[in-house]
């Protein structure tokens, strides 16, 4: 199985990042990773509230996040651990991620839906 390649930070493209995070589910996954520090794909499944996400879709969401350069995935035995690349991305595109995450967080308060980012409970 492939060693899960990640793009070097200088190859990151804003449109890929925006596209990755324009999906509320992916945004929620990413927010979760940042909250918790590290997450394996399967546990993210249950973490998204009421919504049940098929494994194959979930796998694809992680792939999109990884290829956008937002997360780093490492195999540990049978599972994959995903870490955010926040610091790198922040250095490359200052203010981008914080603006996006804050936007989702403030939106969650006014109109809660499937993507419940940064919700207290």
Q: Choose one: 6-14, 58-66, 86-94, 99-107; the region binding DNA (CB under 7 A).
A: 58-66
Per CB under 8 A, 48 contacts a second copy: no
Phi, psi of 56 (to 5 degrees): -65, -35
Stretch that binds a second copy, among 34-42, 43-51, 77-85, 109-117 (CB under 8 A): 109-117
Contact flag: residue 102 with a second copy (CB under 8 A): yes
- Provide the H-helix boundaries in 1-121: 14-21, 24-36, 41-47, 55-68, 86-92, 96-110
Q: Does 62 bind DNA (CB under 7 A)?
A: yes
Is 41 an interacting residue with respect to a second copy (CB under 8 A)?
A: no
Match 């993210």 to its residue by tokens. Answer: 44
């Amino acid at each position: 199985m492939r060693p899960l390649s990640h793009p070097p930070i200088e190859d990151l493209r804003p449109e890929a990042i925006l596209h990755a995070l324009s999906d509320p589910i992916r945004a929620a996954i990413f927010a979760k990773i940042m909250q918790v520090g590290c997450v394996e794909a399967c546990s993210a499944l249950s973490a998204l509230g009421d919504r049940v996400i098929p494994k194959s879709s979930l796998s694809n969401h992680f792939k999109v996040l990884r290829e956008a350069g937002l997360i780093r995935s490492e195999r540990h035995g049978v599972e994959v651990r995903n870490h955010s690349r926040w610091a790198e991305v922040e250095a490359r595109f200052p203010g981008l991620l914080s603006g996006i995450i804050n936007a989702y967080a403030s939106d969650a308060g006014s109109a809660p839906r499937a993507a419940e980012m940064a919700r207290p409970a």
